[in-house]
């Protein structure tokens, strides 16, 4: 085949003198246009779309592809910093530049795919918009004159950090790995724990201007099809310019945006994702985010920690015995204190009542103002310690709390008993494992403070009733938020309320309606039967 088309590639040494083509209004390029057989036209369009040479990291390498001693003008386009240069040099450019004999007699396109490109992932595209999208995620694009397709070669080498220890969900037992910002590394971490051929990752890109890869994970023979379909429907219907983190995605797919309680579980631990996948839930991973979303999520899921599954059940019962009361203390203790001191003094012993009155004798502020001062000071110190560099953060929190607490009591701004109440409330809030639920409790704490100051126990009771009604009507992807308590299901007596030994955890959560209801037979420890028979 003789090359009729005459193309003179630009001189690589004079690349900075190449000007981006200026297009007339009647010749505006459309991204949805098809790739043509003219390499010159394709290059002009790609230069225009990628803002070349204004974009300094866009690289265009022109050369001749040799097939059967015939030269075909070609161009390779990629973003420097997103690709593996050694892979391009050794397995793409070198293979294309050396002469290849087309012994099979196939056409040029098939010959390039079958005999030339020594790459494990090569695909073709016929339109410019998909070609550009593939270039933006780290692939290189190959154009060859006389061919109206672009070859997309997987050469991604994105800058990522190494897999490290989980920092926000620490545990004394179990795996310590956490997700990173690379989507494929995260899917590999999940497959490391879920060695099941039925585990499926479905990719759904999100965003118009900058498409972000999103992957939905579920086990096909366990997860309910209606839940999987609902997750796909919500994600595929999102129409935004860009999305950077699963925190933004969470707000776009949750059932009730204005509800304080979180409706979607977020985690950075791949082992936790694996555990929920085996229960029949769906995980959502996003490129560029070191966290994963798990749906559906119910209220009790936010109170569990990774240690609950790895420690013996007497220990996990003890931990939960303190964790649930600590959550109630962090929400209700300041409101109950202000309600008792203001409206229900008869509930206190006389000596304690006189002691509280004596400590507040020189305080110039009402009890509500006094309590708000301490709560706001504690929240400011906690926020400041989080935003301070790591070596100074814990020191700032401890020293600031001690100095401020001592000074504020000595100045008779607040009473000593109130410092104890606020300190106990703050310490109890740290027992709540989930960060989103912790923020919810911090918001509700102020609500119950005002209710207790306005109407005492009656106001707190009204607040609890309204809060219970709101939670009872909430759903997470069609699953009642208060499951398995409302409606009551069998899992209430297994792992959610008090936990049982792992050999008695025979059923998956029934409120998820999984395809396989049982996770193990009734007798999992068969060695016990064998020992009895012997």
| DSSP code at position 100 | B
Calculate ∠ Cα 198-202-205, nearest 5°.
Answer: 170
Residue 27 predicted with pLDDT over 60: no
CA dist., res. 282 & res. 234, Å (int): 13
Residue 489 predicted with pLDDT over 80: no
CA dist., res. 197 & res. 195, Å (int): 7
Q: What is the mean pLDDT of residues 10-28?
A: 44
Tell me whether residue 173 is exposed, middle or buried, using C-beta atoms within 10 angstroms of its C-beta: 0 to 12, 13 to 18, 19 or more. Answer: exposed
CA dist., res. 424 & res. 333, Å (int): 9
Q: What is the pLDDT of residue 352?
A: 83
CA dist., res. 13 & res. 285, Å (int): 43
Q: What is the mean pLDDT of residues 261-272?
A: 93
Q: What is the pLDDT of residue 416?
A: 84
CA dihedral 487, 488, 490, 493 (to 10 degrees): 140
CA dist., res. 72 & res. 5, Å (int): 9
Cα torsion angle, 49, 53, 56, 62, sign: positive
Tell me what the pLDDT averaged over the chain comes to. 84
Q: What is the pLDDT of residue 276?
A: 94
- SS3 letters for 449-464? HHHHHHHHHHHHHHHH
Report which of 89, 80, 71, 97 is spatially closest to residue 8, judged by C-alpha positions: 71
| DSSP code at position 205 | -
Q: Answer whether 60's CB lies under 8 Å from 69's CB.
A: no
Q: What CA–CA distances, in Å, run from 31 to 54, 146, 163, 207, 239?
A: 19, 20, 38, 16, 19
- For residue 256, give both structure tokens: 């009730």
Which strands make up the sheet holding 265-267, listed edge to edge? 199-203, 214-219, 282-286, 292-295, 265-267
Q: What is the pLDDT of residue 492?
A: 54
- Find all residues with CB under 8 Å of 322, minimum gap 6, and list them: 431
Q: What is the pLDDT of residue 283?
A: 96
pLDDT digits (tens, 9 = 90+) for 200-217: 999 998 988 778 889 999
- For residue 444, give both structure tokens: 């509700």
Q: Answer whether 160's CB lies under 8 Å from 68's CB.
A: no
Kindly indicate the confidence band of residue 431, based on its pLDDT and cuts at 50, 70 and 90: confident
Q: What is the mean pLDDT of residues 179-201?
A: 91
Residue 156 predicted with pLDDT over 70: yes
Kindly indicate the confidence band of residue 120, based on its pLDDT and cuts at 50, 70 and 90: confident
pLDDT digits (tens, 9 = 90+) for 286-311: 998 999 999 999 998 898 887 787 88
Kindly indicate the confidence band of residue 251, based on its pLDDT and cuts at 50, 70 and 90: very high
CA dist., res. 206 & res. 222, Å (int): 26
Query: How crowded is the C-beta side of 77, counted as CA atoms within 13 Å?
Result: 30
Counted residue by residue, the chain has a size of 534
Q: What is the mean pLDDT of residues 476-498?
A: 73
Q: Answer whether 449's CB lies under 8 Å from 400's CB.
A: no
Q: What is the pLDDT of residue 412?
A: 78
Q: Answer whether 264's CB lies under 8 Å from 294's CB.
A: yes
pLDDT digits (tens, 9 = 90+) for 279-292: 999 999 999 899 99
CA dist., res. 377 & res. 384, Å (int): 10
CA dist., res. 450 & res. 265, Å (int): 29
Residue 23 predicted with pLDDT over 60: no
Residue 20 predicted with pLDDT over 70: no
Residue 78 predicted with pLDDT over 50: yes
Q: What is the pLDDT of residue 531?
A: 66
pLDDT digits (tens, 9 = 90+) for 133-149: 889 888 999 999 999 99
Long-range Cβ contacts of 240-244 (<8 Å, 24+ apart): 240/206, 240/207, 240/208, 241/207, 241/208, 241/209, 241/210, 242/207, 242/208, 242/209, 242/210, 242/212, 243/206, 243/207, 243/212, 243/286, 244/212, 244/288, 244/289
Q: What is the pLDDT of residue 392?
A: 63
Helix (H), strand (E) at residue 142: strand 140-144
CA dist., res. 512 & res. 523, Å (int): 23
Categorise residue 478: left if φ over 0, alpha if ψ from -120 to 50, beta otherwise. Answer: left
Report which of 44, 60, 37 is spatially closest to residue 107, judged by C-alpha positions: 37
pLDDT digits (tens, 9 = 90+) for 350-391: 888 888 888 888 888 888 988 898 888 888 888 877 777 766
């Amino acid at each position: 085949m003789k090359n009729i088309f005459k193309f003179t590639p630009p001189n690589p040494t004079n690349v900075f003198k190449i000007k981006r083509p200026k297009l007339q209004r009647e010749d505006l390029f459309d991204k949805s246009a098809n790739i043509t057989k003219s390499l010159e036209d394709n290059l002009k369009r790609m230069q225009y779309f990628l803002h070349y040479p204004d974009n300094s990291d866009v690289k265009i390498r022109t050369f001749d592809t040799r097939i059967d001693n015939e030269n075909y003008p070609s161009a390779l386009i990629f973003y420097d910093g997103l690709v593996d240069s050694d892979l391009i040099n050794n397995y793409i450019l070198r293979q294309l530049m050396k002469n290849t004999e087309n012994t099979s007699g196939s056409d040029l396109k098939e010959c390039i795919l079958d005999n030339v490109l020594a790459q494990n992932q090569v695909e073709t595209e016929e339109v410019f918009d998909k070609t550009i999208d593939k270039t933006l995620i780290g692939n290189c694009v190959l154009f060859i004159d006389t061919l109206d397709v672009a070859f997309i070669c997987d050469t991604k080498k994105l800058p990522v950090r190494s897999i490290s220890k989980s920092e926000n969900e620490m545990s004394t037992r179990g795996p310590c790995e956490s997700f990173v910002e690379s989507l494929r590394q995260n899917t590999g971490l999940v497959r490391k724990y879920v060695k099941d051929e039925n585990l499926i990752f479905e990719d759904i890109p999100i965003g118009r201007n900058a498409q972000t890869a999103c992957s939905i994970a579920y086990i096909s023979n366990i997860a309910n099809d209606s839940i999987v379909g609902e997750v796909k429907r919500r994600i595929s219907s999102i129409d935004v310019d860009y999305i950077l983190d699963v925190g933004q995605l969470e707000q776009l797919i949750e059932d009730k945006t204005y509800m304080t309680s979180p409706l979607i579980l977020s985690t950075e631990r791949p082992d936790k994702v694996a555990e929920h996948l085996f229960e029949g839930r769906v995980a959502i991973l996003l490129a560029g985010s070191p966290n994963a979303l798990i749906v559906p999520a119910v209220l009790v899921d936010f109170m569990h920690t990774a240690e609950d599954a790895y420690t013996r059940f007497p220990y996990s019962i003890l931990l939960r015995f303190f964790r649930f009361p600590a959550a109630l203390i962090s929400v209700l203790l300041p409101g109950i204190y202000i309600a008792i001191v203001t409206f229900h003094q008869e509930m206190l012993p006389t000596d304690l009542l006189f002691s509280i009155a004596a400590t507040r004798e020189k305080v110039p502020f009402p009890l509500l103002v006094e309590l708000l001062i301490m709560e706001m000071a504690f929240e400011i110190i906690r926020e400041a310690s989080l935003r301070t560099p790591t070596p100074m953060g814990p020191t700032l929190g401890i020293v600031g709390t001690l100095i401020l607490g001592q000074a504020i009591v000595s100045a008779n701004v607040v009473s000593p008993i109130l410092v104890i109440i606020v300190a106990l409330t703050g310490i109890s809030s740290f027992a709540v494992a989930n960060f989103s639920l912790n923020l919810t409790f911090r918001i509700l704490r102020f609500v119950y403070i005002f209710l207790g100051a306005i109407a005492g126990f009656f106001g707190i009771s009204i607040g609890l009733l309204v809060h219970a009604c709101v939670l009872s009507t909430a759903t997470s992807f069609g699953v009642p938020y208060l499951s398995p308590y409302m409606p009551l299901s069998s899992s209430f007596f297994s792992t959610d309320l008090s936990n049982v030994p792992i050999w008695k955890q025979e059923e998956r959560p029934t409120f998820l309606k999984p395809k396989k209801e049982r996770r193990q037979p009734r007798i999992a420890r068969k060695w016990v039967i064998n020992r009895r028979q012997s």
